[in-house]
Structure formats: C-alpha cells, structure tokens
C-alpha cells in the first residue's frame, strides 16, 4: 500500500509512470484501482466523485483495511499520535427548532426539559477538572432562547478563567452573539451542517434552511473561531451521491473539526424506527461510519475528528463489528490475541442498506411521518458472508502494543484506529445527563459516575497503545497555534 508515511514523495515518483504523473498534474487522473483512488485522495490531488465513491465502497476486506490504515497514518502525521479527551457539558435540552430526527425537537412533549444555570455549568466544569485536566470543554445545548447572549458570555469567561479552551455548540444565533462570545474568549464552535443537500435539509430541518446554517459557519469563521462541522450518516432520504457531495463540500470548507455520526432513530420523533426494529443493522451502520470517518480524515487531514458518542451507542446493539476490529488489528498492527474462529467477517458492502440506501433523491422520498425503518427495508439484506483472511498486512506498525481485548467493547475505539483523534466523555451532572436525549441509549452509554466513565475512556485509549494529549488541543493549522507546539510534520506527504 503506497499511502501514508510509508511512501515518500521520491518513492511515489518512482512508482508513478510518466503518463500517470502528467495526468495527475493536469487534474485529469483516472483512478484505475482502489489503491489508486485512495492514494489520489490521501495526497490531496484533484478529486472526482468517482474516486470518493470508489473509496467509500471497498470490494474486499483488504481494500477496506487499507482505507482504515491510510487514515490512521494520516491522523498520526497531521494531528499527532495522542488522543484529545474533551469534556462535554450538555447544559440545556430546550430547542426552538423541530428537526425530524432529534429527540430535543420542540414538538417532543415526552422529553423532560432542563436548563442548567450559569453557576451549575461552571461548577460542572470545575468538578470535572478534579477528575482530569481537560484542555477543552465543549458547551452544548439545543437552540435555547432561554439563554441570553450575556449569560453565555458569563459562562465562557468563567470557564476560561479555569484554564481550558471553550468550544460552543449552541446552534444558529445572530452574528452579534457569536461576536460577543468570541470576544469573551470562546475558541471554537461546532455547528454540523448535517447534509449539504438543501432539499433533504429542508425536509429534515423544516424550521431553518441550509443557507441560514452555512451563513452561520461563514460568520463564525470570519470571527476567528476554529469551526467544526459535519454530517449525520444514514439519515432517511440520504443517498450515496449526497454523502459524496457532503464530503466534497467538507474538503472545500476545510474546517478545523469534522464530525461524522450515525443516525440513531428516536422513538419520539417522526423518524422513529418501527417497533420491531429499535436498533436497526448496527454492524452495517458502524462500518459505514468508520469508512466515512476514515475518508474524511484523508480529505480534511488537519481536522480534529471525534469518535462520536452515537457510534458507541449503536455499538451496543451488535457484536459483529468486534470481529472486524480484531481482524483489522491483526492484519495491520500485528495483534495476535484472541480471534473468532473461523474469522467471520461481514462482506464489504453488506449491511449498507440503512446508510446509503438509494441511488437518487427521488428514490429516497423522505417526508414528514416517514419511519426510518421503511427506508431500510428497500435495501440489501443481511447475510453472513465469511472471509478467509490472508495475512498480507504489515505488522508492528502504528501501535507499539495493543492492550486487553476487554476494552474492545466500544466502536469508538475502532474509530480512533481509523482516523479519529478526539473523544468527548460526558461530564454533565448525572441528574441532567439522562435528559439530553438527542437519540436513545445515549444516557446509559456514559451512565456511570464521572470518574468511572473517565477511567473507561482512558483504559480504552491505553488499551489501543495510544496516549492522551495534554494541552488545549487547538487546530494544528499555523494560525491557531498560539499556545501549543505544532505536531511533527516530518514525513507528511501533503
Ligand atoms: S438537531 Fe439541534 S437544532 Fe435540531 S432539534 Fe435537535 S438540538 Fe435542536
């Protein structure tokens, strides 16, 4: 595999024929193989939708693993080896919007609403700092008009006095509010665009528009925030073409953070799953997310990419992905611990029906009242393909040592081996945490006390042979590197 650090520019030039190079330089290179397409993307060369599609759709397990491995190497190269652990405080579950997929939507009368006071938010941060020296707190809420801009200013200032950086994730607000918060010291802002398809966006988020949301991102960037954005993968009505366009848009935007989370149906929303199918096809969903995480790492290499909580939640519904994880660790990192026997893997391409179900937006036909499960039933059915694994992967690279398998219960760990480099334990006080239910199952995922949850996350990172980053974890882009050293860039290709 000629991607990542293994292949220097010299080697690349040797490998490429004159014809290939001239084609690439002219921006008309046609990828002929999976590795060719992968290399094209990893080098930041001109992309065609065809290449993205190809990389998103590996035909063999070797291809799939080569994507994961290239993303892992790109992560180490561009944003460093250590994992950033950020504390997230979900301080209000009130929301003025009415997104069809979200449990916080204003129409959901089944949800017990809460709103932490500024003092409670600051106290949650100082309590969390006693358990871990967080470099960043993420302050997240629904779009809650109950907080004035000044109330947020108060919170930002107080948390900044404690030392860590502050990421806000409070939705669409006027430019003046963003400006005030930036002046108060807010460093970053997370605002996922969810889908770049304006029609699907309007259907799923009927109380706002894509243009309004993108304008917010433009405003945030102009104010000097490190911006984070991303998509939900597997939204009913979302097509493969839309996901490809999302990724192309993300590359163009070049945000400082990229978040790819799976759609998890919430029972109290119009997009609830049918009663018989509360956790549909989690293994397929996990793999689709992992591939998209890996690809986004290659396309936006300098971004911080979280292993999302939602991924951890859907992982609880399946054990199949553990086989994939072990096989990947064995193939690429020389892990020779317990493996399933025989090695049973899901065939690449299997189980994608929920996530990339249609070939056109017409087929998708999403609308108010449509159930997520209805979409999935139109796709490919689950089978139990078996892969004979040929040990062709390189060994001993990337990880010095993999730890006990008991930490492999959470697909967020696998995301950290596929390009993600951030994990965000929930440090919201337990009395509120259970009610921040964007999707079901989230509360119990971090349901233990704070120290136990942190210990679990740290054990997982250690078990992967990785370390925890110290400091604020700013973007490695030079303009954001005021207080921290840049990660080592030697050997990077792009
Ligand atoms: S997705 Fe965000 S904006 Fe939409 S209802 Fe949920 S919390 Fe509100």
Average pLDDT, stretch 299-326?
Answer: 84
Mean pLDDT of all residues belonging to the chain: 78
pLDDT in tens, 357-388: 222 332 233 333 333 333 322 222 222 222 22
Same domain, 233 and 106: yes
Same domain, 221 and 306: yes
Same domain, 183 and 276: yes
* Least-confidence region, from 334-348, 398-412, 467-481: 334-348
Same domain, 253 and 165: yes
Domain assignment of residue 354, yes or no: no
pLDDT in tens, 189-203: 999 999 999 999 999
Category of 210 on φ-ψ map: left (φ > 0), alpha (ψ -120 to 50) or beta: alpha
Domain assignment of residue 342, yes or no: no
Domain of residue 50 covers 4-72
Q: Angle at CA 255, nearest 5°, toward 186 and 170?
A: 40
Same domain, 62 and 154: no
Last residue of a domain, one of 72, 94, 109: 72
Same domain, 195 and 66: no
**Confidence (pLDDT) at 317:** 62
pLDDT in tens, 103-123: 999 999 999 999 999 999 999
Domain assignment of residue 349, yes or no: no
**Confidence (pLDDT) at 483:** 53
Average pLDDT, stretch 205-234?
Answer: 97
Domain assignment of residue 334, yes or no: no
pLDDT in tens, 18-56: 434 444 444 445 567 898 889 889 888 878 888 899 999
Same domain, 68 and 85: no
Domain assignment of residue 395, yes or no: no
What predicted TM-score, i.e. pTM, was given to this entire model? Answer: 0.81
Site to substitute for ligand 1 among 94, 99, 266, most atoms within 8 A of C-beta: 99
- Cα of 99 from ligand 1 centre, angstroms: 6
Total structural domains within the chain? 2
Domain assignment of residue 390, yes or no: no
Same domain, 33 and 88: no
**Confidence (pLDDT) at 68:** 93
Same domain, 95 and 221: yes
33 within 8 A of 70, measured Cβ to Cβ: no
Spatial separation of the C-alpha atoms in residues 84 and 136, rounded to whole Å: 9
Spatial separation of the C-alpha atoms in residues 252 and 250, rounded to whole Å: 5
251 lines ligand 1 (CB under 6 A): no
Same domain, 248 and 296: yes
Last residue of a domain, one of 38, 72, 106: 72
105 lines ligand 1 (CB under 6 A): yes
- Cα of 172 from ligand 1 centre, angstroms: 10
Same domain, 261 and 227: yes
**Residue predicted with more confidence, 483 or 76:** 76
Domain assignment of residue 485, yes or no: no
Domain assignment of residue 344, yes or no: no
**Atom of ligand 1 lying closest to residue 205 CA:** 4
104 lines ligand 1 (CB under 6 A): yes
pLDDT in tens, 235-244: 999 999 999 9
C-alpha dihedral (175, 178, 181, 183), degrees to nearest 10: -60
What CATH number should be reported for the domain holding residue 124? 3.20.20.70
Same domain, 201 and 268: yes
Last residue of a domain, one of 72, 99, 131: 72
């Amino acid at each position: 595999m000629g991607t990542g650090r293994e292949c220097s520019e010299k080697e690349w030039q040797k490998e490429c024929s004159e014809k290939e190079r001239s084609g690439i330089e002219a921006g008309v290179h046609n990828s002929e193989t999976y590795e060719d397409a992968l290399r094209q993307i990893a080098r930041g060369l001109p992309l065609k939708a065809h290449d993205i599609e190809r990389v998103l759709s590996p035909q063999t397990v070797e291809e799939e693993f080569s994507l994961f491995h290239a993303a892992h190497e790109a992560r180490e190269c561009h944003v460093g080896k250590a994992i950033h652990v950020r504390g997230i405080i979900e301080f209000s579950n009130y929301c003025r919007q009415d997104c069809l997929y979200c449990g916080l939507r204003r129409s959901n009368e089944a949800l017990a609403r809460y709103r932490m006071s500024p003092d409670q938010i600051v106290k949650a941060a100082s309590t969390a700092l006693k358990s871990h020296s967080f470099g960043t707190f993420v302050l997240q809420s629904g779009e809650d008009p109950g907080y004035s801009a000044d109330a947020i200013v108060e919170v930002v200032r107080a948390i900044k006095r404690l030392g860590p950086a502050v990421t806000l994730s409070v939705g669409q607000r006027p430019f003046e509010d963003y400006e005030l918060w930036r002046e108060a010291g807010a460093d970053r802002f997370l605002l996922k665009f969810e889908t770049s398809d304006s029609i699907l966006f309007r259907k799923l988020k009927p109380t706002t528009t894509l243009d309004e949301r993108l304008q917010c991102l433009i405003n945030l960037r102009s104010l000097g925030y490190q911006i984070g954005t991303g998509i939900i993968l597997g939204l009913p009505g979302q097509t493969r073409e839309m996901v490809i366009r999302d990724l192309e848009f993300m590359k163009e935007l070049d945000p400082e953070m990229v978040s790819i989370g799976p759609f998890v149906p919430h029972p109290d929303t119009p997009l609830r799953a049918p009663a018989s199918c509360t956790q549909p096809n989690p293994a397929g969903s996990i793999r689709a997310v992992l591939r998209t995480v890996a690809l986004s790492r290659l396309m936006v290499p300098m971004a911080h990419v979280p292993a999302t909580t939602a991924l951890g939640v859907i992982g609880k519904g399946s054990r199949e992905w553990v086989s994939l994880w072990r096989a990947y660790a064995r193939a690429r990192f020389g892990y020779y611990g317990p493996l399933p026997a025989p090695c049973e893997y899901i065939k690449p391409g299997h189980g994608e029906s929920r996530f990339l179900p249609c070939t056109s937006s017409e087929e998708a036909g999403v609308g108010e009242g449509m159930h997520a499960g209805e979409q999935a039933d139109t796709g490919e059915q689950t089978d139990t393909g078996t892969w004979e694994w040929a040990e062709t992967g390189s060994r001993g690279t990337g990880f010095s040592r993999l730890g006990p398998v008991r930490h492999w219960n959470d697909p967020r760990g696998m995301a950290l081996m596929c390009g993600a480099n951030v994990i965000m334990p929930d440090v919201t006080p337990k009395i509120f945490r259970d009610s921040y239910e964007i999707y079901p199952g989230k509360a119990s995922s971090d349901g233990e006390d704070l120290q136990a949850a942190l210990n679990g996350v740290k054990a997982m990172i250690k078990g992967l042979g990785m370390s925890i980053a110290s400091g604020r974890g700013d973007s490695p882009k030079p303009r954001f590197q005021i207080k921290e050293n840049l990660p080592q860039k030697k050997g990077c290709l792009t």
